[in-house]
Chains A and B, each alone.
Chain A
Amino acid sequence: MSYLVADQLRGGYGGADILNGCSLSVDKGEIAVIVGPNGAGKSTAMKALLGMLNLREGTVTLGGKDITQMSPQDRVGEGIAFVPQTHNVFGGMTVEENLEMGAFLRTDDFAGTMEQVYDLFPILKQKRRQNAGELSGGQRQQVAVGRAMMTQPSVLMLDEPTAGVSPIVMDELFDRILEVKQQGIAVLMVEQNAAQALNIADKGYVLVTGTNKHTGSGDELLADPVVRRTFLGG
């Protein structure tokens, strides 16, 4: 069984269900990518895993432990880190302060983790006294991922980390995410750049109207003619 497992999730924002029996899982040292059309419920599935959604049905387990009823803050304490799609940095605070806030719950010395983040994203070290709000889109995403890494998470969830960044920066970010995976972290990410994301993925999910439409390894999905035609543009 995988480290983080979501099984048969159903629920929404009070009205009709957005998630209709969606199941996801990701193991440590693995990248799982969720792709699918706009409004399919990808972000909503992320929120469900984080405990920010009222689920009617389904369970979420982390390392075999049922965390379905746990509050988002407690899940952060359990090692789930989340990078939201938008508003994912403290714009009025410096890069370094952003990282410090990521480590807010930690009581040990986090200087080593901060060095690791700077090794992963050298540009951040250079800009560490600058406000995160003054950085370029790609640099901001690096701050956002860096902040999440400061908790020393076992699961890193990213909602469209490459939205609005140039293709070169996107490749760069994907390389960094591969490095994160090599540290033994479970990476679950939602992506619009489906083909590139599936390229680095161990596992892919195509989500349509809150249900798993296609599931497979990244390569399988890339090779599937139906997936290619409907979701990857040929």
Chain B
Amino acid sequence: MPEFVDILNAIVLFSNFVLVPAISYGAQLALGALGITLVYGILRFSNFAHGDLMAFGTMTVILVTWGFQSIGISFGPLPTALLALPFGIMGAIALSLMFDKTVYKFYRAKKSAPVIFVIVSTGVMFMTNAIVRFIIGPSDQRFMDGTKFIFRPREFKEFTGLSEGLALKSTQVLTLTVTIMCVAALFYFLQKTRTGKAMRAFSDNKDLALLSGINPDRVVSYHLDSCCRPSHHRWHFVWLR
């Protein structure tokens, strides 16, 4: 018969290597999934470039973080990268709007079939990917600062007296917090705001939305800006790990 403390140790071991990392990784995936679901749900558009848009946002955050670090700006115990987040958001919005104006608008005006949009988005994907590779490259980048651990395995062992340790990184807590905030904000946006409701109306019944005076061009841009918001956090935190 295992002792009670053995069961506790097993739970801690499992949490340290599976549960905690899985929750934080799952939260990262959820952010990306949220963005791409929003695009498909509202515009019926399978955006293959979504992941690379996220990478672009992340790249912007990293570059701005390095900039901040080099001129001595920090965020105390929190990662400086958090301060750089708004710049990443703006970068991703700017890139999306640029591709919308220069590429997608042309096909929208031609009322192209959905499959054309999918193929076009693959092209956009390769372009975005090339830009990111050209500027920052595919290898790991270090930009981590602030307090790394909320508690370390050794501290946990000393505190609880168990023989297994548990680590909790500040990035894991941040990731989960940001995910919950994004999901809540997005839910609020779609359920409660006029623009959010218009976007739902457009995806629900396009013709009736047009008859109600809802303008699809506006839907696209609002939509773009709301979808790249969550998207880029994800990569940010993937890179932060």
A: residues with CB less than 8 A from B are: 50, 72-73, 76-77, 82, 84, 87-93, 97, 100-102, 104-105, 147, 151
Contacts and interface: CB of A to CB of B under 8 A. Distances in A.
A77 B205 contact: no
Contacts of B208: 84, 87-90, 147
Given A73-B215, A87-B205, A101 B210 contact: no
Interface in B84-124: none
Interface string B172-200: 00000000000000000000001001101
Contacts of B194: 100, 104
Given A87-B205, A89-B205, A73 B210 contact: yes
A146 B212 CA distance: 12
Nearest to A100: B197
A76 B213 contact: yes
B71 interface: no
Given A84-B207, A84-B208, A87-B207, A93 B201 contact: yes
Contact of A104 (B198, B204, B205, B207): B198
Given A92-B200, A93-B197, A102 B212 contact: yes
A90 B213 contact: no
22 contacts: A50-B211, A72-B210, A72-B211, A77-B213, A82-B211, A84-B208, A84-B211, A87-B205, A87-B207, A89-B208, A90-B201, A90-B204, A90-B205, A97-B197, A97-B201, A100-B194, A101-B198, A101-B201, A101-B209, A104-B198, A104-B213, A105-B212
A96 B204 CA distance: 15
B38 interface: no
Interface string B123-146: 000000000000000000000000
Given A100-B197, A101-B197, A104-B198, A93 B204 contact: yes
B42 to A, nearest CB: 12
A187 B168 CA distance: 67
A104 B210 contact: no
* Most A CB within 10 A of own CB, among B197, B198, B210, B215: B197
* Most B CB within 10 A of own CB, among A84, A90, A100: A90
B211 A76 contact: yes
B189 to A, nearest CB: 14
B238 interface: no
B214 interface: yes
Contacts of A92: 200, 204
Contacts of B209: 90, 101
Given A92-B200, A101-B197, A101-B198, A76 B205 contact: no
* Most B CB within 10 A of own CB, among A88, A93, A100, A101: A101
A105 B204 contact: no
Contacts of A50: 211
A90 B203 CA distance: 9
Contacts of A72: 210-211
A102 B208 CA distance: 9
A93 B214 CA distance: 15
